[in-house]
Amino acid sequence: MYLFSVNLHHKLFQNSASDKMAKIPHILLIYTGGTIGMVKDYKTGALKIFNFDKLLKHIPELNQLNCTIQSISLDEPIDSSNMNPDNWVFIAEIIEKNYEQFDGFVVLHGSDTMSYTASAISFMFENLSKPVIFTGSQLPIGDLRTDAKENLITSIEVAAAQENDQPIISEVCLYFEYKLYRANRTTKINAEHFEAFTSPNYPPLGESGVHLKFHKQLILKPKKAKPFTVRKRLDNNIVILKIFPGITERVVASILGIEGLKGVILETFGSGNAPTEKWFIDLLKETIDKGAHIINVTQCIAGSVIMGQYETSIELKKVGIINGGDITTESALAKLMYLLGENIPKNTFKSIFETQLRGEISEQE
């Protein structure tokens, strides 16, 4: 298991006199790993992590931004395939410890599981009133055709963007290839194109072209009156069950029979449809009766679960399956771990899951 420790505090980039400094935004850059900071191993040809010092040398342009940037690198930066809930808590704690000293946060993270981490952090942060921007890249920073520079520079600009001395963004976002998304609405869709992410059910919060534009009506308002709280208990006794034509009773029974299982993300067809065979519905019912929660999430990239639209989802509704609406699988997984960690009583769990907590799900009628 990979557990982080923070390595060092890098130098502060600052470019103006100290009286002006009080006004300009202070940004904390947190480096966790990913392609952005990788180099090719000459022997194996595989990409591996390299030192963060070298990464900063590749972007002298950072000195020109109208903000100060302080950075933290994790002791052992990792490929994001090795991320886990303990690491998410660690990242959240770095931000928590530095919350008052900084105006915005940029997290450099591998793109493979970025949507999972950023979704989880969005649920862990209650009453966030500052920007937390996740970014990474498809090509390493040293590569001639890299997308890393634009992603990093614009992410810092977004984190530093203010209006009337207030941050424009006060939620967890993911910036990639000219688009700023609400993080818990994103999913990685491409391992080749620079446009690696999409937000299928919610429009981008901003776009970077000749100008950096924000769509303010889409951005969550900060809840400044309430204290910023970090929820750190995540329960990962859950499973994602993706159904497919031909799935057998033996497979479903063994997955749902996992000891200590508390939650299931059921990835269904289309608008939330599943086989109507008795053994299937009975197994779901037994699982719910035992106290586990089952969330209906569509396998489709876009659109929403509408339970009861087809006969093939009526039974799911009847046995008490939770309607995941238009939530992404990544966000559903993070929300499930978060709500299980909060020990929400069984009788309110369904309605709380179906409620929008951090803008992750469209309100259902």
Q: Which residues bind ligand ASP (CB under 6 A)?
A: 33-35, 79-81, 110-112, 136, 138
CB atoms under 10 Å from CB of 350, counted, come to 18
Please report how close the Cβ of residue 121 comes to ligand ASP at its closest, in angstroms: 16
User: What length does the chain have?
Assistant: 365
Q: Of 316, 307, 323, nearest to 271 (Cα)?
A: 307
Instruction: Specify the residue, 112 or 267, whose C-beta has the smaller distance to ligand ASP.
Output: 112
Q: Take residue 180 and report the two structure tokens written for it.
A: 């700023």
Q: For ligand ASP, which is the closer residue by CB, 151 or 304?
A: 151
Q: How far is the CB of 112 from ligand ASP (least distance, A)?
A: 3
List 35, 68, 135, 186, catalytic entry:
35
Nearer to ligand ASP, 79 or 207 (CB): 79
Whose structure tokens read 């939650």?
263
Q: Which residue has the tokens 């990242």?
A: 91
CA dist 275 and 316 (Å) reads 10
CB of 246 vs ligand ASP, minimal distance in Å: 32
Look up residue 333 and give its DSSP letter: H
190 DSSP assignment: -
Residues with Cβ within 8 Å of residue 112, at least 6 apart in sequence: 34, 79, 80, 81, 188
User: From CA 333, how far away is CA 119, in angstroms rounded?
Assistant: 9
Q: Which is nearer to ligand ASP, 34 or 222 (CB)?
A: 34
Query: Measured from the CB of residue 233, what is the shortest distance to ligand ASP in angstroms?
Result: 26
Report in angstroms how near the CB of residue 32 gets to ligand ASP at its nearest: 9
Residue sitting closest to ligand ASP (CB): 110
Looking at the Cβ atoms of 108 and 252, the one nearer to ligand ASP is 108
Q: What is the DSSP letter of 341?
A: H
Amino acid identity of residue 53, one-letter, is D
Active site residue 35: yes
Annotated catalytic residues are 35
